[in-house]
Amino acid sequence: MDGSKDIKVRKKKKRKKKNYLLRLILLICIGVCLYFFFTSSLFDINEIAVENNDYYTPEQIISIAGAITGGNTFAERTGAMKDKLLEDPYIKNASVSRKLPDGLVITVQERKEAAYVVYRSEYVIIDSDGIVLRKAKVEPKLTVMEGMTVKKIETGEPLEAEENAMLTGTLSLLKQMEEQELYFKRITFSSVVIKAYIYDSLICEATPENLSAGMPQLKEVITDLYSKGIERGVIKMGSDGYFAFSPLPE
């Protein structure tokens, strides 16, 4: 009886070994098939789409990311592409995703040029967050910020000035300008107030906080003056929406 049991146990073990071996062979075959499937030309990159770009062309975005056609979409390191994009000062955020079977999609959020300061005969262009985007030799058609004592200018980093509180308030003002669709030719700093030049001879004087808070009302005042043909004078803004206008002599 014991001998027959031993034979049955040995046969059962052999069957288990065969089943394990068959499963292993099957898994290897499936893995090999999947490898050849996913590395086949079906997944070679034929198209790279770029979304939400404005400052850069699609070709420039693709070049910055280091993306190329022809490679396998699963072999491309999309995370590395994103890192390369974020190294550029003009790109605030980015994502790179696969569009199966043969595409990549690059989506960017770009920083917009908002103003500039003059530093050592160069025009230093910043966005509304104060990030230094680039330095130029040709004067850009943007709001110029004057009167600051610049401490640090490094591309891709925040602009630093000794008048830090005034700079912070003015950056907030730049954002309000964009929201209200207003444009100031020049913003001049002083120890207490700033002068915002709507035209060369039409000026608004206020603290950055009051000016930022009263932008919607200021827009109405400017529209009213423009409708009357008035392009010279000083608009003084106080707290609680207080406005006073003094015309300048011709």
What pTM value is reported for the model? 0.79
Paired tokens of 4: 């027959």
CATH class of 115-246: alpha beta
Of the pLDDT bands very low, low, confident and very high (cuts 50, 70, 90), residue 31 is low
Paired tokens of 168: 């912070």
- Assess contact for 216 and 180: CB atoms under 8 A: yes
- Could you tell me what percent of the chain has a pLDDT over 90? 49
Q: Residue 55 carries which side chain, given as an amino acid letter?
A: Y
* Cα gap 202→195, rounded to integer Å: 10
Of the pLDDT bands very low, low, confident and very high (cuts 50, 70, 90), residue 168 is confident
Please give the pLDDT value at position 208.
80
Please give the pLDDT value at position 72.
81
Judge if the upstream peptide bond of residue 247 is cis by omega within 30 degrees of 0.
no
- DSSP letter at 156 equals T
For the chain, give every domain's residue range: 41-110, 115-246
- Assess contact for 183 and 143: CB atoms under 8 A: yes
Q: What fold, for 41-110?
A: Ubiquitin-like (UB roll) (3.10.20)
